[in-house]
Amino acid sequence: MHSSEIRYFLAVANCGSLSAASQQLFVAVSAISRQIQKLEAEIGAPLFDRHARGMVLNDAGKIFENHVRRSLMDMEHAMAEIKGLKAVRRTALRIACTDGMAFSLLPALCSQFRHLNPSVSFNLTVGSALEVAEILRRGECDVAFQFSLQPERGVDVVASFPAPVLIVMQQSHPLAKKAFTLKDLQAFPVALPDQGTTVRQLFELSCQMSGTFIEPAITCNNFSTLYFFLQQNPQAITICSQFTVLYQAKEHGLALRSIGIDQLTQRTLQVQTVNGRQRSAALNLFLTFVSEQLQQQNEFFRSEYGF
């Protein structure tokens, strides 16, 4: 089995067709096709389902892809260790996360960690929950941070914390200091994340079950936009977990309220790594640091806000 066969296989798997892989690799379609057929002959099973519009990995192909990517990552770690790049003093960590954690949580954690380990650098990729899961599955990040509704399969969950959906407003808001229901939110401009997020999905489910219809004043897939809208509108309301505004709540005078609806408490914040992959010294140090910081901050936050 030659490196060109593996390279062509991964290109087709990523691109979804021979022609797209050809354009990416600058190699003729016929040459790629021959190598794929040769690889399948060596393995003794087809790796792709062939369709008119492209090629999709079948079950055998997915198993083979997983082992190939893991082997490549193990080789990279071995080379890094040999070259001394595995030491904490010279390491780049790749992080994938969903939007809520990119707002301030991860920038703060990375900054704090670099004060202790100034030679560690970070490459942060922000995507949807599906995109983050795929990045982690492909081994294209060292650690992933995301909100999950159910236990994740095929990953190592390093740490997990309850991350209920909270109603966020300024402390001067009429609802900030009294009990309210979802229906009470109808009287105010509500800023919501897009429907692909877990926080929006749980919020919509709660509204449906209570017979409440809320038309958002603004919808966006970037929490920074929603937060700035909240800052500019004293009557505005948005939704998120405590982790999203962990460092803004007290400084910016926010009120975070729980409505006490079961559906809004089903999320957890998970810190995830690839199942079975060897971790670098820097990654282990970062994971320990992050877990301790999140535990401390979460306990302080819940005590301060009475959750």
List the CATH number of the domain containing 287: 3.40.190.10
- Would 79 be classed as within a structural domain? no
- Would 82 be classed as within a structural domain? no
Given this model, what pLDDT does residue 261 score? 84
Does 171 share its domain with 260? yes
- Would 80 be classed as within a structural domain? no
Does 149 share its domain with 224? no
Does 45 share its domain with 105? no
Tokens 């190699």 map to which residue? Answer: 27
- Would 209 be classed as within a structural domain? yes
The pTM assigned to this predicted structure is 0.70
Does 212 share its domain with 248? yes
CATH code, 55: 1.10.10.10
- Would 84 be classed as within a structural domain? no
CATH code, 221: 3.40.190.290
Per-residue pLDDT of the chain in tens (307 residues, 90 and over written 9):
567 888 888 889 989 999 888 888 888 888 898 989 988 898 899 999 998 888 999 999 888 988 888 787 777 766 665 555 445 556 889 999 999 999 999 999 999 999 888 889 999 999 998 899 889 988 889 999 998 877 667 788 999 999 999 999 999 999 999 999 999 999 999 999 998 888 999 999 999 999 999 999 999 999 999 999 999 999 999 999 999 998 888 888 899 998 888 878 888 999 999 887 788 888 999 999 999 999 988 888 877 777 6
Does 99 share its domain with 24? no
Does 254 share its domain with 273? no
- Would 285 be classed as within a structural domain? yes
Given this model, what pLDDT does residue 98 score? 92
Given this model, what pLDDT does residue 93 score? 94
Given this model, what pLDDT does residue 204 score? 92
Domain count, the chain: 3
Does 142 share its domain with 62? no
Given this model, what pLDDT does residue 5 score? 85
Given this model, what pLDDT does residue 155 score? 86
Does 142 share its domain with 278? yes
Given this model, what pLDDT does residue 83 score? 58
Does 193 share its domain with 237? yes
Does 151 share its domain with 219? no
Does 252 share its domain with 298? no
Does 196 share its domain with 229? yes
- Would 9 be classed as within a structural domain? yes
Given this model, what pLDDT does residue 189 score? 97
Q: What is the domain extent for residue 135?
A: 90-157+269-305
- Would 125 be classed as within a structural domain? yes
